[in-house]
Structure 1
Amino acid sequence: MITHGECGKTWTGLRRAHCPSCHETFNSDSAAEKHRVGRPGIDRRCVDPATVGLIAVEQPWGPCWQAPGSDLRFTTNADAEAA
């Protein structure tokens, strides 16, 4: 279990990303990057992850934001058979 010292949120997994600005947790660096807009060092800021197409998947330690297709729970059998 990993705990962020500033906000106290916890999560598990080596590939998770936790935003030090808004303190949301993501399933990957690429998902975390989607919620950041603007130019680095100039006007970079966080936006609501849902507004950029990410979904919150509830984990035992709290919500984890990810792209809809990155979790097999959101793939239909037809999608899996076509792959």
Structure 2
Amino acid sequence: MTEQFQCRKCGSGWGGLNTCHCQRCHVTFSTVANFDRHQRGGECLTPKDAGLVRNGRRYECYGQPGEQERAARMQGKDSGGLTGVEGLPVPEAAFGGVSS
């Protein structure tokens, strides 16, 4: 699968709209905040030195430990469907369906 964006210099590809690719060190980060974490005094830190880890995407991308698991919980993937407040199921009626 071809990624949505690609660096012209190093050829790295990524697909997330919030994903950031550093044009200096050519490392890809899952968010702007993680990108910012890797910069200190105008220099790039390695992901490890910035406290970041590979985040399980199909392309090399770094984020905070546990980031993918939190994202999956927010999307309801760990409960088998949509979730509401505190992980409670969202009634179908909230989406125009009929609640039994």
Higher relative contact order (CA 8 A, sep 6+): 1
> Does residue 55 of the first structure (1) align with residue 53 of the second (2)?
yes
Runs of 4+ off more than 4 Å: none
Q: TM-score, normalised by structure 1?
A: 0.74
Computing the radius of gyration from Cα coordinates, the structure with the larger value is 2
Identify unmatched segments of 5+ residues in structure 2. Answer: 71-77, 79-85, 88-100
Percent identity reads 30
Q: TM-score, normalised by structure 2?
A: 0.62
* 2:60 match: secondary structure: strand
Shift of 1:70: 2.0
Which aligned pairs between 1:62-81 and structure 2 lie closer than 5 A? 62-72=59-69
Q: Compare the two structures and name the one with the higher strand fraction.
A: 1
Q: CA RMSD in A?
A: 2.4
- Partner of residue 21, structure 1: 24
For residue 47 of structure 1, what is the amino acid of its counterpart? Answer: L
Q: Compare the two structures and name the one with the higher helix fraction.
A: 1
For residue 57 of structure 2, what is the amino acid of its counterpart? Answer: Q
- Partner of residue 9, structure 1: 12
